[in-house]
Amino acid sequence: MDFKHYSVLLNETIDNLNIKPDGIYVDGTLGGAGHSSHIAAKLSDGGRLFGIDQDEDAIKAASERLRPYEDKVTIIRDNYENAVSRIKELGVNEVDGIILDLGVSSFQLDNEERGFSYRYDTPLDMRMDRRQELTAREIVNEFSEMELFHIIKNYGEDKFAKNIAKHIVANRKQKPIETTFELNEIIKAAIPARMREKGGHPSKRTFQALRIACNRELEVLENSLDGMIDFLAPGGRICVITFHSLEDRIVKNNFRKNENPCTCPPEIPICVCGKKSKGKVITRKPILPSEKELEENSRSKSAKLRVFEKITK
């Protein structure tokens, strides 16, 4: 199966990176190298691109796509939370731009055996890095009812989280829940019929929640942004594309805090906490996909791009 992934907000992201031909850039979520191939094409022989991904299928596909630029591209298989330390190990102390495209790739969603989608009947997996031990199956069958409730409520924002968790626990007492369709049926039974008719597929929110928990997605994002901003050269930019409100909130709040980290009470006339701004938020409001992009790719409808620029010394 080809690694297909429509690069969401492609032109907007490339434009906002302000690419310098001899600059150093990081794509922390390489995927099929949609964004990276455009970055690499703009680099001179003095430029450098580091592509990071934890998915071996993505690494294979990206390596193929970036072959014309292989002299200026380094691909690393890892989670982007380790990107800064891995690149520093290679002797690089600062970079001119970083991109994170936090969406699950179309390839991952459409590849039945990966278990990301509620549309195919397949074993529950959902690991972005298949070297990892924890799978969605383990979460569904071994986590307590309270843990499942919190995961579905906090990461899926599903108002029926309590009932879904209860139904999962009741069903797994009979036999382990092995497949996506088994889980679909349990979720469907936990949601009142009149509510199932609106708001899309009844499993959508629970599957999102399990995927986020399985891959520690929000934790990784929260742990990574400060270090990435510190890793930027003066005037360098970080562009982050999110696909749901939980991620977007983390990025928005982080960028705002890095622009204005002062913790002094507002009534104090001068800052005494000593916390200095690291730069400025370029996107007061997030950049959204164009009408044309929405027509071409329905999966881009929830995408938001936010951009932060490191302070120039």
237-286 pLDDT, tens digit each: 999 999 999 999 999 999 999 999 999 998 888 888 989 999 999 999 99
**Percent of the chain's residues with pLDDT above 90:** 78
What average pLDDT does the chain have? 92
Of 195, 215, 235, the domain-final residue: 215
Q: What is the pLDDT of residue 106?
A: 65
Measure the CA–CA gap between 46 and 96, rounded to whole angstroms: 13
Q: What is the pLDDT of residue 26?
A: 98
Residue 100 domain boundaries? 10-107+217-310
Q: Which residue has the higher pLDDT, 202 or 170?
A: 170
Q: What is the pLDDT of residue 234?
A: 97
Q: Say whether both 257 and 122 belong to one domain.
A: no
Residue 1 has pLDDT above 60, yes or no: no
Residue 120 placed within a domain: yes
Q: Say whether both 135 and 148 belong to one domain.
A: yes
- 110: confidence class by pLDDT, cuts 50, 70, 90: low
Sequence-separated (6 or more) residues with CB below 8 Å from residue 95: 23, 24, 25, 26, 50, 87, 231, 232, 233, 236
Q: Say whether both 73 and 160 belong to one domain.
A: no
- Residue 165 sits in a domain whose CATH number is 1.10.150.170
φ, ψ for residue 310, nearest 5 deg? -65, 140
Q: Which residue has the higher pLDDT, 73 or 298?
A: 73
Q: Say whether both 101 and 29 belong to one domain.
A: yes
Q: Say whether both 101 and 250 belong to one domain.
A: yes
- Residue 234 sits in a domain whose CATH number is 3.40.50.150
State the number of CA atoms in the 13 A half-sphere of 114 facing the CB.
Answer: 24
User: How many structural domains compose the chain?
Assistant: 2
Measure the CA–CA gap between 105 and 139, rounded to whole angstroms: 22
Per-residue pLDDT reduced to its tens digit, 51-100: 999 988 889 999 999 999 999 999 999 999 999 999 999 999 999 999 99
Q: Say whether both 289 and 202 belong to one domain.
A: no
Please compute the mean of the pLDDT values over residues 214-229 and round it to a whole number: 97
Which alpha helices (DSSP H) does 48-144 contain, by range? 56-65, 83-89, 106-110, 136-142
Please compute the mean of the pLDDT values over residues 187-205 and round it to a whole number: 84
pTM reported for the whole predicted model: 0.92
Residue 2 placed within a domain: no
Q: Say whether both 96 and 120 belong to one domain.
A: no
